Amino acid sequence: MNTSSAHLPGPAARVPHLSLYSALMGLVVMVAAAACAWLATPRLQAISAAPSLDATVPKAFGDWRVVADATTQVDVSQGVETVQEQPYDQTVMRTYANSRGDQIMVALAWGERQRQDVKVHRPEVCYPAQGFAIRQIGDGPAISTSGRASPVPTTQILTEARGGGFEAVRYWIRIGNRYGGDGLQARWYILQEGFQGRIPDGVLVRVSQRLSREDAAPASQALMEAFLQEMVAAVPAGSRGLLVR
């Protein structure tokens, strides 16, 4: 029996041929993907050693002084369930009064690292979550501040409490060097900063006043506008960047 055929090699296996061009293109794609991942990973922080927000904002300026107040302010961290979801590193909540008996509530909240999923909370979301109905909302007059070329844009709100009464609100949100805009615009800005290797900080500057009548809102907004201008001017220039930039 002839068994020589059992030792004959079979058909040569085909080895895929990888051209130099294909290899180079694959290498370029991998390098580009690695570069994008590196660029998209923020490595710097806007403020690495922020001063104390409580110490920075004076407890007395002009005709205004901090007073004890039993009124419960709307919580700036409403809806935060875990430490990882907390957007703020420092918060300050006070009530100021002037010699005429006017009172204004102040809520300041600063966070060192603003991210896509964890960033400054907007009052028009926090107030309804805590029993207030939004009656009016719109752009308020910009606040002129010392050391800044252009005024700071603000938002003004009139809310109605569930148990009766109203609250006029004036605020601004700064994320990095950007003011205003909706949540989508904030996300886009944070993404752009990430590509530049930066993690922006963010702050909520909110003032409000409880009102018994809805028609008192215009006068309240004018008072809060003047209050904000005085408050920012009273903050030392070296740490004013926490509030305005």
Whether residue 175 is predicted with pLDDT greater than 80 in this model: the reply is yes
| Domain membership flag for residue 214 | yes
| Domain membership flag for residue 2 | no
Compute the distance between CA of residue 200 and CA of residue 121 in angstroms, rounded to an integer.
Answer: 15
Whether residue 47 is predicted with pLDDT greater than 80 in this model: the reply is no
Compute the distance between CA of residue 33 and CA of residue 223 in angstroms, rounded to an integer.
Answer: 54
pLDDT at 80: 45
Element (H, E) at 153: strand 152-161
| Domain membership flag for residue 16 | no
| Domain membership flag for residue 34 | no
- Total domain count, the chain: 1
pLDDT at 194: 76
Mean pLDDT of the chain: 81
- Band of the pLDDT at 184, cuts 50, 70, 90? confident
| Domain membership flag for residue 107 | yes
- The residue that leads in pLDDT, 17 or 73, is 73
| Domain membership flag for residue 39 | no
Q: What average pLDDT does this structure show over 171-179? A: 88
Q: Give the domain extent around 124.
A: 44-242
- Band of the pLDDT at 163, cuts 50, 70, 90? confident
| Domain membership flag for residue 15 | no
| Domain membership flag for residue 28 | no
For the chain, percent helix, then strand, then coil, each to nearest 5? 30, 30, 40
- pTM of the complete model: 0.76
Helix, coil or strand: residue 128: helix
- The residue that leads in pLDDT, 19 or 8, is 19
SS (H, E, C) 191-244: HHHHHCCEECCEEEEEEEEEECCHHHHHHHHHHHHHHHHHHHHHCCHHHHHHCC
Residue 158 neighbours by CB distance under 10 Å: 22
